[in-house]
Chain A
């Protein structure tokens, strides 16, 4: 019999409504007024259509075998913590399913629920219970925890009198003695001085070798390399890579390099864009559109590569175009891009322009500038697509339907 996966994730996604935060926190009176004025829309959830959606996670497929130590890496906001939160049932997904086999212990923060007025001893029991340990279990491990944290003289002192080092040591010690079948750890090993960190790593090693399933989020790539059997790299809420730690870390480090150019202060490069009709709004999906892009080159370009890509407001890549063999002299030049029509749905889009010299992104060309263009492009057009969002797709093409029962010759 094949072993069932400890964790099986199918198409998991989590979507937040931006602006919904203000909505949720608005006063009760407004909610009542809103409910009174548009009860129907509200009940059908229509008013949420005005909010921007943010996908913290999208379409995650993942299996974790029992005993596997899986590392999760990615930039801030890539969705790592969201994934752990969904798996530990703190928050629920917006789509997809996850099946978790075995008791979960999650450690998203050190010292959750510590109460500063209570003593070290009392906090061990409190924190242990919050993390899901039974009293008998804590009793059994009590001495071990105290020894690990090295706080035995201060056991009956209120933790508010602890030094911050003692505090985190105690907090970590409790958490480290959690023994669930599946352990999820979010970036908590970076506590205490280096001696204590070494101790923590040792403890994590023991856990990893004990055959327990571990999901481990960290920015400390060395820890990841040492502990994990497999590493998943998240980016923009998606799994971009999954494989052996060494490869995943290399992939991640490479992905870190590219956009950092975009953050650099602009000196030359792409300066400006607009439609030739003027402005950044398109009001018609069927007429030709020309956009002009102003580029200020520091050097002549030979055999260059120009990339123009268009994202929608959910960072979904809608379209991309490229021009190879670009020849340009240094100084300011305008680049024109004409599209016969731009059948996009109403909304906000953003261009991203990239220009390489001596080859393209694949052939070792040198990236001169990558610009997440501002302002954004607004499509101020009627919606021709399916009125239900889930069926509307990304294109916006005006259809002509025709139903005719008299002309069935093609079928006969």
Chain B
């Protein structure tokens, strides 16, 4: 018998094969998803949750696309600009100059005994990356609406690849910091070895926020306008222009609930050679990881509806 055939008397579908109703069999075959073997490459399409939980293997299969999209953003970023990649340096350097004049000179902001320009630049470097990454990643889904509605690939690739260009800027701008450390003769300790780990933590944090915002942005375009404010306010909640010591001891734990606070302070320790504050770094890394997982979970939950509502 044709399942459901009574509803559709006009169908003259080819029924040479016996119609199948064996759901258990199809569930079994879902496991055999090996990419290269054609015969075994079976995809079951079905409504509901089972559209795939976060599928790391699939994400890995699409790593080339991740790279290509990231490189696209890198290539396009400073196209048709006169200064080109120099913008990557100019942005944090100009911010440093302005902050040094207003906060360092006029407001006499304490800087833990380090030269204020160096003090603020060590924070501006990761912060600029964080801010760009959050903004790019958060807007990435709607910017790629045409891709989302026309091609299939794991959607997570989009916000992930969106931070590539910021990471490139980060690498370029950090050369200035190393030069400044020579000029001011500060830093150059073994603490520098921690920079890669701190960078990874900032990447995770930025991705978490960016991915969450990207998913929210698809459903609620309000977030397009929220992102710039969020980033701006967040900067003042983070010890970028001021030292951690400015915050009263009893309130510090709250400061470090902001993952960027601990990470930025960690960057300062790494570049300036001051001792690390293990507990604050620990809290911040934990929160950063938490945000990342939250972002990915929400994104994953929304993913199957993206093409319909974008």
Interface set of A (CB-CB < 8 Å, partner B) = 2, 5, 8, 10-11, 16, 21, 24-29, 31, 59, 61-63, 85-104, 106, 108-109, 112-113, 115, 117-118, 122, 125-126, 129-132, 134-135, 181, 230, 238-243
Contacts and interface: CB of A to CB of B under 8 A. Distances in A.
Contact of A101 (B12, B42, B68): B42
Interface string B140-165: 00000011111111000000000000
B82 interface: no
Interface residues of B, number: 57
Contacts of A97: 26, 44-46
A28 B223 CA distance: 8
A90 B307 contact: yes
B44 to A, nearest CB: 5
Nearest to A134: B64
A92 B76 contact: no
Contacts of B39: 101-102
B253 to A, nearest CB: 29
B229 interface: no
26 contacts: A10-B20, A11-B3, A25-B219, A28-B220, A59-B8, A90-B152, A91-B307, A93-B46, A98-B46, A100-B42, A100-B44, A100-B45, A101-B42, A102-B39, A103-B35, A112-B146, A113-B146, A115-B72, A126-B69, A126-B72, A129-B69, A134-B64, A181-B38, A181-B41, A238-B8, A242-B14
Contacts of B35: 103
A18 to B, nearest CB: 12
Interface of B: 2-5, 7-8, 10-14, 17, 19-21, 26, 29, 35, 38-39, 41-48, 51, 64-65, 68-69, 72, 75-76, 79-80, 146-153, 216, 219-223, 304-305, 307-309
Contacts of A28: 216, 220, 222-223
B12 A125 contact: no
A94 B65 CA distance: 29
Given A59-B7, A91-B308, A239 B13 contact: yes
B151 A131 contact: yes
A243 B150 contact: no
Nearest to B303: A92
Nearest to A17: B308
A238 B10 contact: yes
Contact of A117 (B11, B65, B80): B80
A243 B38 contact: no
A118 B73 CA distance: 10
B151 A90 contact: yes
A108 B46 CA distance: 21
Given A25-B221, A87-B45, A97-B46, A61 B11 contact: yes
Contact of A92 (B13, B64, B304): B304
Q: Which 5 A-B pairs have the closest CB atoms?
A: A129-B68, A98-B45, A28-B220, A91-B307, A89-B152
B113 to A, nearest CB: 44
Contacts of A117: 75-76, 79-80
Contacts of B69: 126, 129
A129 B220 contact: no
B146 A238 contact: no
Contact of A88 (B10, B152, B304): B152
B122 to A, nearest CB: 33
B219 A24 contact: yes
Contacts of A29: 222
A132 B153 CA distance: 8
A230 B220 CA distance: 43
B2 A61 contact: yes
B150 to A, nearest CB: 4
B12 A27 contact: no
Nearest to B16: A63
A251 to B, nearest CB: 10
Nearest to A5: B17
B220 A31 contact: yes
A201 B13 CA distance: 27
Contact of B151 (A101, A103, A106): A106
A24 B41 CA distance: 35
Given A99-B26, A129-B64, A135-B64, 11 more contacts: A2-B17, A5-B17, A26-B220, A31-B220, A59-B7, A85-B307, A92-B305, A106-B152, A112-B147, A117-B76, A134-B64
A63 B14 contact: yes
B44 A61 contact: no
A104 B35 CA distance: 11
**Among A59, A93, A99, A118, residue most surrounded by chain B Cβ atoms (within 10 Å):** A99
Nearest to A2: B17
A27 B222 contact: yes
A206 B26 CA distance: 33
Contacts of A11: 3-4
B65 A130 contact: yes
B199 to A, nearest CB: 26
A303 to B, nearest CB: 28
Contacts of A8: 20
Contacts of B221: 25
Nearest to B29: A99
A101 B41 contact: yes
A115 B4 CA distance: 46
Contact of A112 (B20, B46, B75, B151): B151
A118 B26 CA distance: 44
A90 B69 CA distance: 19
A241 B12 contact: yes
Contacts of A118: 72, 75-76
A241 B47 CA distance: 25
